[in-house]
Structures are given as C-alpha cells and as structure tokens.
Chain A
C-alpha cells in the first residue's frame, strides 16, 4: 500500500487558517480598538447591577439534575433506532446484547429512583 502525505495538505492548510484567524483577529482588534483601562471597565458587568458577595453560593440543582438525567435517557433511545431497523440480521445475539444494555440502564434508573433523584419536592 503506497501512502503519501499529499492528502493531508488540506488539513495542514485548515490548521494554519484556523490558527491564523484567531491570532489575526486578536492582533487586529488590539491594534484598531481603543484601549482604556479603569476600575469600572474591569468589573464583571460593565453596566447594570453591581455584583455582590461570593460566587460560591449553594443553589438548587434540581433542574440541572433532571435535565442531565433526561439527556442520559434520551441518548439511550438513539441506540435503539439502528438496532430496530436491523433487528432480523442481528438475530438472537443482537437481542441478548441489547437486553444487557437495557438492563444496565434499568439498574441505573432503579438506583436513581432509590436515591430519590426524581423527587421534585
């Protein structure tokens, strides 16, 4: 098998363009843009309410938890579509594999239920 590096030259060009765009944009904005530094400029929000207190606050993660669990179980479903369309070709072995996959997910679901991850109150 004869291989050469020619096929990868577009990749190299793309790398140079991507890197050059970032460096170039930074450089040009630095040159063109006005440069004023003051205490007000360096605040988190330049205009609007003044930030107060520490960022390390306890906050409710209920929504976050529900959202991430939804994503987890939603992605699982995606694996079913290719399996379902090729169900006959996969035969018994495919069925067993999918059964193992689903039962592992079911175990995770039972664990989350037991840990009360779905309780909103």
Chain B
C-alpha cells in the first residue's frame, strides 16, 4: 500500500522534473523511487491488511507487486538508452509508465470489483498514450488508436459483466460474491452471463485467443520499450487479477459454468498462438504471438484452482517476464527505434556481440522451456499443477504446443550463429543496458537451478 502511494507521487515528481527541464535527474530519481517502492512493498510481507474495504494486501499481492516493480526497474534501466534521442517528452513517458505500474498494483490487491476496474483503467489509459508515444510515426499512431478502440470496448464488456454480477449479488465486495456463490442457491443465468463478460474483458487484457487480435499490431507499432512493458507488466497484472477474482469468487461453481469456456479459450490460445508464431519473420510480432501462447499456459492454473496454483502462476510469470525482458533487450539494441526488426537482422550477431548473443540464447531457450533454465521449471510447475487436478488433455495439448514453440524460438538463435554473412558490428549500449542483460541471464539460470527459491512464495 505504501508502495502504491510512493509510485503515484513519484510519477508527479518525475512530471515536474521534466517540466523544469532537469533531464539528467530523471533516471536516478526514478530508479531510487522505484527501489524504495520495492523495499516498502517487501516490508508488507506476511501481514494481512485491509484498506477501506477496497484493497486487501496478502502474500499473493505482495509477491506479484514485487515482480511488477522489479520488471519496471529493469525496463527503466533499458529506457535510459532507448530514450536517449527522445525530445522533451521523455519525462512524461517515465511518469506514464509509473502511473501504469500503479494501476497494475491495484489489480493484484483489489478486494472490490470497483477497485479492479479502476486499476485496469489506470493501467490501460496510460498504455494507450504510451503506445502512441512516437508521435510522428504512423505505425505508432495506428497502434495507439487500435489499442484504444478495442481496449475501451473490452473495458465496456468487463464493466457490463461487473454490473450483472452486482445486479445479482447486490455488492461489489469479493467476500460477498464468494458467500453468494457458496450459499448453495441455484445461480441465475444473469450471474453466469456476468462471469462470461468479465472473462472476456480479462481475456482481452492478457491477449488470449479469440481476443488476441490487437496484440501483434499493437506490439509491433509501439516503441519497443513500451512493447516490453506490455508483454511483461501488463500480462502479469492481468493474469494475477484474473486469478485473484476467479479463485476468490467463482471457484465454488461446478464445472458446467465458466469452466468449460475457459478450458476452450486456454487450449485454443496455446495451439493458435504457437502455430501462428511459426509463420512470423519479424522479431516483435514473433514475441507478440509468443506472448499469446504464454497467456494460454498461464490460464491452465485457473482451470486447476488448487492451493498450489498461485505459486505456479507466480513462478511461471517470473520466468517468463525475466526471459522476455532479456530477449526484448537484444531486440531493442538491434532495432533501435525501428518498428520492424526482421529475423534477418539477427544474422551474424554472434561474431562481435557475445553478451547479446548469450542473452538471446538464454532468453529464447527459457521461453521455449528447455532445461535447466527457469522457463522449463515454470512449465513443469504448471503442468504438475494441472495433472494433480486430473487435467490430462489440457496438459497433453500444452506440451504439444510448447514442442511446436521450440521451432520458432530457435529461428533468431540460428540466425545469430550464421557465419555466411557480414557480421553485425559491435554494439555498445552502455553499462545499464549490459547490466540488465547480465542480470536477466543470471536470474534465468539461477531460477532454473534453484527453483525452490520462489516456488512457494504467494502461498
């Protein structure tokens, strides 16, 4: 809770630093502020606090908030290099990222549907602007407009769902909804419709098939750093909120309701995401489709919903975000401010850029789920979690999906070791950039070797 206040105020401080043209202060202040927020968030560990009947902080929210803040910290370190040629607007971009992070943190700790909706909107509205932050670039404008139109529509659907839930339960409070579900009454159709509409809203935000169609264009058109933010922080916040709502409120409903719909969404997301990613020849689109597929894997624990599901999601999202940031770091370094980073750009990377190549190999292998990297154990926990609830068919299909995935994750890696072309010249992006890559590599390997460190965190 203190962390949320710190981040919101930090956004204002950054805005004013920008307005007074103190550009060199931006990154240090942002990094110090975000680190403070991380520490304050960690101080809430093992305490259960309720805030005004709107928010409830427990180990689930603290661990996910920690992950979100950590990802933003890594993204800020990449930002100082990525935004080096940006004009006077750069402070606004940092501030918007911080406001989006505040919204994301509300989404992990809500105990009231109103707070959930406000969190989603704070996150989304900041992102609509960030997606179009390269103002003179048509692709960026297009991404922003597409994201805004479809995102606001999805928010409308979510809000309608919340209204229908309120119509039956007469309360926005998660505990009241949970009591209503578990009271043993026959649930009216309107209640089930409300769950479906809320589910559609969430599926849009995390980019699950068939509500994923915005993802490739928006990911490609946005500045790559914002794409990184969307692929990591937004997805983690979306899935955490999705899990929190469904685990608290709707786990008592028998399998005839929302369960079957989510089952179908989960399976087609995994298969469709992986198969479409096979056809991509452009780095950012490839990562967008890979993100769609990962959203599918992350839906598996929502089907299982047992006491280990939260841990499985947490471990998986940690592995996924850290690997993604590592890979996106390489894409940012290669592509600069370009909208497209075709796979051919990776050709001959290995010769002069050993660190970047190593980062690419580790990140891609982890996303593909190759042992002993973090991504492998993420998948292992997910599948073990699903199997303990007897979800055999989903697990088999998910394994097939990740086998397909290995092919496209290897495409850029194979290109990097291509020796028949003139090698990519040495790219030096400064200390912070290399530090992020090294930290990403280190964490991906260490989390793979010692998965117990994080395995039972959200409890």
Contacts and interface: CB of A to CB of B under 8 A. Distances in A.
Interface string B179-218: 0100101001110000000000000000000000000000
B19 A111 contact: yes
B36 interface: no
Contacts of A1: 180, 183, 185
A107 B19 contact: no
Interface stretch (A2-10, A24-32, A81-89): A2-10
Counting chain A CB atoms within 10 Å of each CB, the highest count among B185, B188, B189 belongs to B188
A3 B185 contact: yes
B19 A115 contact: yes
B19 A4 contact: no
A114 interface: yes
Contacts of B180: 1
Contact of B16 (A2, A8, A104, A111): A111
Given A2-B185, A3-B168, A107-B12, A8 B19 contact: no
A110 B13 CA distance: 12
B15 interface: yes
Interface string A101-114: 00010010011001
A114 B19 contact: yes
A114 B19 CA distance: 6
A14 B153 CA distance: 21
Given A111-B19, A114-B19, A114-B20, A5 B12 contact: no
Contacts of A110: 16
A81 B190 CA distance: 36
Contact of B188 (A3, A104, A107, A114): A3
Contacts of B167: 8
B190 A8 contact: yes
A12 to B, nearest CB: 10
Nearest to A6: B188
Interface in B131-181: 167-168, 180
B188 A111 contact: no
A2 B185 CA distance: 7
Contacts of A2: 185
A5 B188 contact: yes
Nearest to B167: A8
Interface string B379-416: 00000000000000000000000000000000000000
Contacts of A111: 12, 15-16, 19
Contacts of A5: 188-190
Contacts of B189: 5
Contacts of A104: 12
A24 to B, nearest CB: 24
Contacts of A107: 12, 16
A3 B184 CA distance: 12
Nearest to A107: B12
A6 to B, nearest CB: 10
B168 A114 contact: no
A111 B18 CA distance: 10
Contacts of B185: 1-3
B11 to A, nearest CB: 10
Interface in B5-29: 12, 15-16, 19-20
A104 B183 CA distance: 43
Ranked 5 nearest A-B pairs via Cβ: A114-B19, A5-B188, A3-B188, A5-B189, A8-B190
25 contacts: A1-B180, A1-B183, A1-B185, A2-B185, A3-B185, A3-B188, A4-B188, A5-B188, A5-B189, A5-B190, A8-B167, A8-B188, A8-B190, A104-B12, A107-B12, A107-B16, A110-B16, A111-B12, A111-B15, A111-B16, A111-B19, A114-B16, A114-B19, A114-B20, A115-B19
Interface of A: 1-5, 8, 104, 107, 110-111, 114-115
Given A3-B188, A110-B16, A111-B15, 5 more contacts: A1-B183, A5-B188, A5-B189, A8-B167, A114-B20
